Chain A
Amino acid sequence: MSRSVKLVVMGVAGAALLYSCAPGASAGLRTLPYLWFLPNPFYRPAATNCPPGANVDCEQQTSSSTSGGSSSASRGGSSSSRSSSGSSSETTTSTPTYSQRGGFGSTGSHSSGSS
C-alpha cells in the first residue's frame, strides 16, 4: 500500500475514532435472544437449519451436537472434547436477568497487565 493511501486509510477518521465511545454500537442487540444460545463463534459447526431467533430446543440441540471438538481442526493432533467445566449452567433454559460482576480484574486493580 502506498504511503499516501495508507495515510488516507488511517488518517483523521481513524484517529478521531480513538477515545470515541460509539454508544450505539450494540443498539438493538438486546432484541436478539438467539445470542444467548450461540456457542463460541470460533467453533466450526456443521451447518445448522436453525434460523436466527429459532427456539431454544433447536439452538441447544445444534450447540450440543457441535460441541464435541470435532470441528474441522486446522492443526494436527487429536481433537479434544470440549471442557465440561461450567457447562452445567448451559442447560438452563431460562434467561438470567442480571450478571455477577467483578470476577475479573482483582489482580489488575493494582498494576497494569500490559507488557
Chain B
Amino acid sequence: MRREACLPRPGWQQKLEQLGFDYYVLEGKAYWTEQACYAFTSDEIDELEAATQALHGLCLKAVEHVVGNKLWQRMRIPPAWGQYIESVWRRADPTIYGRFDLAYDGKGPPKLLEYNADTPTALYEAAVVQWYWLKDAKPHADQFNSIHEKLIDAWRGVAGRLSSGALVHFARFDEQPEDLATSEYLRDTALQAGLTGKPLAVPQIGWNGRRFTDGDEIPIQVLSKLYPWEWMVHEAFGVHVLSDTTAFLEPAWKMILSNKMLLPLLWEGFPSHANLLPAFETEHADLRGAYVKKPIFGREGHNVTLVAPGLFDTAGGNYGAEGYVWQAYHPLPVFDGNHALVGSWVIGDEPAGIGMREDERRITHNNSRFVPHYFV
C-alpha cells in the first residue's frame, strides 16, 4: 500500500461535474483530489475484502446477541423500541449498505475503527467517480469496486419482496450536497433494479394518523432514509414508526450497528480478533493510556478525543450526551503527512469496494479528502 503523486486529468473539474459530482470543494477546501492516489497489491485488496466479510459476520452475531439478550439499555435504545427492532430483525428486513472505517497500512491486519451502518455517505464518490478516474488515469489497472453492481443487486432483492413496480421514497436533506448525492445515487440504482423512486425532504414526511405519507399524501410503503435512527427515535413522529406500516432502509436493527457501543460489545464477544481493537465502556487499564474516546452516538469525528503518550487531539461537536466508549488507539498510516483511512463498503451482505479518505489530522471528519485508488 502506498500513496502516489498523480497528474490530474485535463479538465478534471468538468469531468466531475459531468457526473453530477459538484461538491469536490467543501467549505473552501478540496474534498476530492486526484493529485494523488493510493495503490494496493491484489493481496492487500484480498485482505481488505476478507476482513470486511469477517467483520460483517461478527456484526450480525452482535445484533443477534443484543436482540436475544434485550440489551437495549446498554445500547441506549429506548426499551419501547426493543420489540420493534426484534421484529424487523427476525423477519430479516433487508439492508442495502454500510461502510466500515478501517485502519490499514498493508502490513498488519485491517482494524475496525467504527461501522457507519445507518447513514453512510461518500458512496457516489466510491462507486462511480473514482471508477471514471480509473478509466482515464489508470486504464490498465483494476479497482476494488463492485459497489454499483452490488447496489443494483441489493435493490433487486428488495424488489423481490415487494409488489411489482413498488414505490420507494428517498428522504434526505437536500441542502447537504453529500446527502443529496448519496440519496439520489441510491435512487438511481433502485430505478435500475426496476423499482420506482420518489425523492422527499425529511421534514416533508407526513403522518396522517394511520400511515407515513409524502407531500402528495401518497402512503410511504418503503422509505430509504438518510437520517439517523437515533434522531428519529426521539423526534415527534418516532413513535409512529412502531406501528410498522412503513418499511425502512436501513432497517431499525442497524441502530445496533451504527452505535459505538458495538465496539466494546464486539471486543467482549470476540476478544483478540485480528480485525478488532480493544474497546470498553470505561477508560480501561488494558488501554495503557492510549485510546480514542468516542461518543456512543457520534458522527463524522465530532466529539472524538485522542489520547496517547505525547499525543492529544480532540474535535468539537454536540454529541456525547448518551455517554462514550474507549477504543485502543491504533494509528492510521501516514503518507506524505496524510493520515489515510479505508472506508470498506458492505452492500447487501457482501464486501463491495473501498474509498480512501485522508487528512492532515488524526481524526477523520466529514470533509476529509477523498482520494481514488487502484490495485495491480
Which A residues have a C-beta under 8 Å from some C-beta of B?
A: 1, 3, 6-7, 9-10, 14-15, 17-19, 21-22, 25-26, 29-30, 35-36, 38-44, 67, 69, 71, 73-77, 79-83, 85-87, 89-90, 92, 96-109, 111-115
Rank and list the top 4 A-B pairs by shortest CB-CB distance, nearest first.
A99-B206, A103-B237, A86-B243, A18-B20
Measured CA separation A57–B127 after assembly (Å): 47
**Contact (Cβ within 8 A) A9 B192:** yes
**Contact (Cβ within 8 A) A10 B128:** yes
A-B contact pairs, 23 of them (CB 8 A): A18-B185, A19-B180, A25-B198, A40-B246, A41-B162, A42-B94, A42-B161, A67-B244, A74-B91, A75-B91, A80-B90, A83-B84, A83-B243, A83-B244, A90-B245, A97-B217, A99-B213, A99-B217, A107-B231, A112-B366, A113-B119, A114-B178, A115-B299
Contacts of B255-308 to chain A: CB distance below 8 A? 258, 299-300
**A103-B92 contact, Cβ under 8 Å, with A19-B20, A77-B68:** no
Contacts of B189-248 to chain A: CB distance below 8 A? 191-192, 196-199, 201-211, 213-219, 221-222, 226-228, 231-232, 234-247
Q: Which of B64, B167, B176, B204 contacts A25 (CB 8 A)?
A: B167
User: Which residues of chain B have C-beta atoms less than 8 A from A96's C-beta?
Assistant: 208-210
User: Which residues of chain B have C-beta atoms less than 8 A from A101's C-beta?
Assistant: 203-207, 215
**Contact (Cβ within 8 A) A42 B247:** yes
**A17-B235 contact, Cβ under 8 Å, with A22-B198, A35-B219, A115-B116:** no
**Contact (Cβ within 8 A) A85 B299:** no
**A114-B146 contact, Cβ under 8 Å, with A29-B218, A41-B247, A77-B67:** no
Contacts of B46-76 to chain A: CB distance below 8 A? 64, 67-68
Interface residues of chain B: helix, strand, loop or mixed (majority):
mixed
Smallest CB-CB separation from B94: which chain A residue? A42
Task: Tell me the minimal C-beta distance from B362 to chain A in angstroms.
Answer: 18
User: What class of interface size applies to chain B in its complex with A?
Assistant: 35 or more
User: Which residues of chain A have C-beta atoms less than 8 A from B339's C-beta?
Assistant: none
Q: Which of A92, A98, A112 contacts B179 (CB 8 A)?
A: A112
User: Which residues of chain A have C-beta atoms less than 8 A from B245's C-beta?
Assistant: 38-40, 90
Q: In this complex, which of B87, B146, B204, B227 has the most chain A Cβ atoms within 10 angstroms of its Cβ?
A: B87
Smallest CB-CB separation from A99: which chain B residue? B206
Q: Which of B68, B235, B318 contacts A106 (CB 8 A)?
A: B235
Measured CA separation A85–B179 after assembly (Å): 31
Measured CA separation A100–B328 after assembly (Å): 46
Q: Is B313 an interface position by the 8 A CB rule? A: no
